Protein backbone atom coordinates (compact mmCIF):
# COMPACT_ATOMS: atom_id res chain seq x y z
CA UNK A 1 0.00 0.00 0.00
CA UNK A 2 1.31 3.49 -0.65
CA UNK A 3 0.66 4.64 2.93
CA UNK A 4 0.01 2.81 6.19
CA UNK A 5 -3.58 4.10 6.78
CA UNK A 6 -4.85 2.11 3.78
CA UNK A 7 -4.25 -0.98 5.91
CA UNK A 8 -6.60 0.33 8.60
CA UNK A 9 -9.77 -0.07 6.48
CA UNK A 10 -9.82 -3.88 6.38
CA UNK A 11 -8.75 -4.00 10.03
CA UNK A 12 -11.54 -1.63 11.03
CA UNK A 13 -14.08 -3.80 9.22
CA UNK A 14 -12.86 -6.93 11.01
CA UNK A 15 -12.97 -5.01 14.31
CA UNK A 16 -16.57 -3.93 13.58
CA UNK A 17 -17.53 -7.56 12.96
CA UNK A 18 -15.58 -8.94 15.95
CA UNK A 19 -15.39 -6.08 18.48
CA UNK A 20 -13.72 -8.00 21.30
CA UNK A 21 -11.65 -10.26 19.09
CA UNK A 22 -8.47 -8.20 18.93
CA UNK A 23 -6.89 -4.97 20.09
CA UNK A 24 -7.28 -2.18 17.55
CA UNK A 25 -4.43 -0.17 19.08
CA UNK A 26 -2.01 -3.11 18.89
CA UNK A 27 -3.20 -3.73 15.31
CA UNK A 28 -2.45 -0.10 14.42
CA UNK A 29 0.92 -0.20 16.20
CA UNK A 30 1.89 -3.35 14.29
CA UNK A 31 1.01 -1.67 10.98
CA UNK A 32 3.07 1.40 11.82
CA UNK A 33 6.04 -0.65 13.05
CA UNK A 34 6.21 -2.83 9.93
CA UNK A 35 6.19 0.26 7.70
CA UNK A 36 9.14 1.80 9.54
CA UNK A 37 11.27 -0.40 7.26
CA UNK A 38 10.32 1.17 3.89
CA UNK A 39 10.03 4.64 5.46
CA UNK A 40 13.50 4.38 7.01
CA UNK A 41 15.02 2.98 3.83
CA UNK A 42 13.42 5.77 1.80
CA UNK A 43 14.81 8.44 4.15
CA UNK A 44 18.33 6.97 4.16
CA UNK A 45 18.65 5.48 0.67
CA UNK A 46 15.86 7.01 -1.42
CA UNK A 47 14.41 3.53 -2.06
CA UNK A 48 11.29 2.51 -0.09
CA UNK A 49 12.22 -1.17 -0.22
CA UNK A 50 10.66 -4.00 1.81
CA UNK A 51 13.58 -6.45 2.22
CA UNK A 52 13.30 -7.88 5.76
CA UNK A 53 10.20 -7.04 7.75
CA UNK A 54 7.86 -7.69 4.83
CA UNK A 55 8.59 -11.43 4.98
CA UNK A 56 6.92 -14.05 7.15
CA UNK A 57 9.72 -14.11 9.78
CA UNK A 58 9.92 -10.30 9.72
CA UNK A 59 6.17 -9.94 10.20
CA UNK A 60 6.28 -12.35 13.16
CA UNK A 61 9.16 -10.37 14.67
CA UNK A 62 7.19 -7.12 14.28
CA UNK A 63 4.11 -8.79 15.81
CA UNK A 64 6.21 -9.71 18.84
CA UNK A 65 7.42 -6.11 19.13
CA UNK A 66 3.82 -4.85 18.87
CA UNK A 67 2.74 -7.19 21.68
CA UNK A 68 5.62 -5.84 23.76
CA UNK A 69 4.09 -2.41 23.11
CA UNK A 70 0.84 -3.47 24.78
CA UNK A 71 1.48 -1.32 27.92
CA UNK A 72 2.02 1.69 25.63
CA UNK A 73 -1.28 0.97 23.88
CA UNK A 74 -3.08 0.68 27.23
CA UNK A 75 -1.54 3.99 28.35
CA UNK A 76 -2.74 5.60 25.12
CA UNK A 77 -6.28 4.30 25.72
CA UNK A 78 -6.27 5.69 29.29
CA UNK A 79 -5.01 9.04 27.92
CA UNK A 80 -7.78 8.97 25.31
CA UNK A 81 -10.48 8.33 27.93
CA UNK A 82 -9.21 11.14 30.18
CA UNK A 83 -9.59 13.65 27.35
CA UNK A 84 -13.29 12.87 26.82
CA UNK A 85 -16.13 14.78 28.42
CA UNK A 86 -18.94 12.72 29.99
CA UNK A 87 -21.17 12.92 26.87
CA UNK A 88 -18.21 12.12 24.61
CA UNK A 89 -17.25 9.17 26.81
CA UNK A 90 -20.67 7.60 26.21
CA UNK A 91 -19.90 7.47 22.49
CA UNK A 92 -16.13 7.30 22.34
CA UNK A 93 -14.92 5.84 25.63
CA UNK A 94 -13.00 2.59 25.40
CA UNK A 95 -11.94 -0.15 27.78
CA UNK A 96 -8.25 0.56 28.41
CA UNK A 97 -7.28 -3.02 29.29
CA UNK A 98 -5.89 -5.28 26.57
CA UNK A 99 -5.65 -9.01 27.25
CA UNK A 100 -2.69 -11.03 26.02
CA UNK A 101 -4.96 -12.83 23.54
CA UNK A 102 -6.31 -9.53 22.20
CA UNK A 103 -2.76 -8.16 21.90
CA UNK A 104 -1.46 -11.21 20.01
CA UNK A 105 -4.54 -11.32 17.79
CA UNK A 106 -4.18 -7.61 16.96
CA UNK A 107 -0.45 -7.89 16.33
CA UNK A 108 -0.71 -10.97 14.11
CA UNK A 109 -3.74 -9.67 12.23
CA UNK A 110 -1.94 -6.36 11.76
CA UNK A 111 1.35 -7.71 10.45
CA UNK A 112 0.00 -10.63 8.43
CA UNK A 113 -2.77 -8.61 6.75
CA UNK A 114 -0.22 -5.86 6.09
CA UNK A 115 2.12 -8.39 4.53
CA UNK A 116 -0.67 -9.84 2.36
CA UNK A 117 -1.90 -6.43 1.15
CA UNK A 118 1.62 -5.18 0.39
CA UNK A 119 2.42 -8.43 -1.44
CA UNK A 120 -0.40 -7.68 -3.87
CA UNK A 121 1.19 -4.33 -4.70
CA UNK A 122 4.96 -4.31 -4.23
CA UNK A 123 7.26 -6.54 -6.30
CA UNK A 124 9.98 -6.67 -3.62
CA UNK A 125 7.71 -8.04 -0.86
CA UNK A 126 8.34 -11.75 -0.29
CA UNK A 127 5.37 -12.79 1.88
CA UNK A 128 6.20 -16.49 2.10
CA UNK A 129 9.99 -16.28 2.41
CA UNK A 130 11.89 -18.50 3.37
CA UNK A 131 9.48 -21.13 1.98
CA UNK A 132 8.88 -19.37 -1.34
CA UNK A 133 11.68 -17.03 -2.50
CA UNK A 134 9.60 -14.72 -4.72
CA UNK A 135 6.21 -13.00 -4.55
CA UNK A 136 3.48 -15.18 -6.06
CA UNK A 137 0.71 -12.72 -5.10
CA UNK A 138 2.02 -9.64 -6.94
CA UNK A 139 -0.55 -8.37 -9.41
CA UNK A 140 -3.30 -10.81 -8.36
CA UNK A 141 -5.55 -7.77 -7.84
CA UNK A 142 -5.44 -4.52 -9.81
CA UNK A 143 -4.02 -1.65 -7.76
CA UNK A 144 -7.10 0.54 -8.07
CA UNK A 145 -9.30 -2.36 -6.94
CA UNK A 146 -6.96 -2.98 -4.00
CA UNK A 147 -6.97 0.67 -2.91
CA UNK A 148 -10.72 1.14 -3.31
CA UNK A 149 -11.41 -2.12 -1.48
CA UNK A 150 -9.38 -0.91 1.50
CA UNK A 151 -11.23 2.43 1.47
CA UNK A 152 -14.62 0.70 1.11
CA UNK A 153 -13.83 -1.60 4.05
CA UNK A 154 -13.08 1.47 6.18
CA UNK A 155 -16.31 3.20 5.13
CA UNK A 156 -18.38 0.09 5.87
CA UNK A 157 -16.69 -0.17 9.28
CA UNK A 158 -17.52 3.48 9.97
CA UNK A 159 -21.18 2.91 9.07
CA UNK A 160 -21.27 -0.17 11.35
CA UNK A 161 -19.80 1.90 14.18
CA UNK A 162 -22.26 4.77 13.78
CA UNK A 163 -25.25 2.41 13.61
CA UNK A 164 -24.02 0.54 16.70
CA UNK A 165 -23.50 3.77 18.65
CA UNK A 166 -26.94 5.10 17.74
CA UNK A 167 -28.56 1.79 18.72
CA UNK A 168 -26.71 1.69 22.05
CA UNK A 169 -27.66 5.27 22.78
CA UNK A 170 -31.29 4.56 21.86
CA UNK A 171 -31.25 1.49 24.13
CA UNK A 172 -29.93 3.69 26.97
CA UNK A 173 -32.76 6.16 26.35
CA UNK A 174 -35.34 3.37 26.38
CA UNK A 175 -33.97 1.98 29.64
CA UNK A 176 -34.34 5.25 31.55
CA UNK A 177 -37.81 6.57 32.36
CA UNK A 178 -38.59 9.65 30.33
CA UNK A 179 -41.75 11.76 30.45
CA UNK A 180 -41.39 12.72 26.78
CA UNK A 181 -41.35 9.16 25.37
CA UNK A 182 -40.22 8.60 21.80
CA UNK A 183 -39.47 12.23 20.86
CA UNK A 184 -36.87 12.22 23.64
CA UNK A 185 -35.18 9.19 22.06
CA UNK A 186 -35.03 10.99 18.72
CA UNK A 187 -33.50 14.06 20.36
CA UNK A 188 -30.96 11.88 22.17
CA UNK A 189 -29.76 10.28 18.96
CA UNK A 190 -29.10 13.64 17.32
CA UNK A 191 -27.47 15.56 20.16
CA dihedral 90, 24, 161, 150 (to 10 degrees): 160
pLDDT digits 0-9 by tens, 161-189: 888 878 877 766 555 444 434 333 333 33
Number of domains in the chain: 1
Cα gap 110→66, rounded to integer Å: 9
Cα gap 135→35, rounded to integer Å: 18
Tell me if 81 is assigned to some domain: yes
Quote the strand ranges of the chain, DSSP E: none
Instruction: Specify the pLDDT at position 170.
Output: 72
Tell me if 159 is assigned to some domain: yes
pLDDT digits 0-9 by tens, 36-69: 999 999 999 999 999 999 999 999 999 999 999 9
Cα gap 36→44, rounded to integer Å: 12
Tell me if 187 is assigned to some domain: no
Cα gap 108→30, rounded to integer Å: 8
Bond preceding residue 17 cis, omega within 30 of 0: no
Residue 126 dihedral angles phi and psi, to the nearest 5°: -120, 85
Instruction: Specify the pLDDT at position 2.
Output: 53
Tell me if 180 is assigned to some domain: no
Task: Give yes or no for a contact between 62 and 34, defined as CB atoms under 8 angstroms apart.
Answer: yes
pLDDT digits 0-9 by tens, 71-130: 999 999 999 999 999 988 887 899 999 999 999 999 999 999 999 999 999 999 999 999
Task: Give yes or no for a contact between 4 and 31, defined as CB atoms under 8 angstroms apart.
Answer: yes
Tell me if 179 is assigned to some domain: no
Write out the residue range of the structural domain in which residue 149 sits: 4-163
Tell me if 82 is assigned to some domain: yes
Tell me if 173 is assigned to some domain: no
Instruction: Specify the pLDDT at position 181.
Output: 41
- Report, as an integer, the average pLDDT of 141-159: 95
Q: Length of the chain, please?
A: 191
Tell me if 172 is assigned to some domain: no
Number of DSSP helices (H) and strands (E) in the chain, helices first: 9, 0
Amino acid sequence: MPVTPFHFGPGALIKALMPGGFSWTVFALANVLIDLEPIGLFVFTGDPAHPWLHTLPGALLVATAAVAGRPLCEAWLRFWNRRLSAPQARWLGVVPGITAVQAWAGALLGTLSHLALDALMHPDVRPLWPFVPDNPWRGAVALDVLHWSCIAAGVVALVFGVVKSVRERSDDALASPCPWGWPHILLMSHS
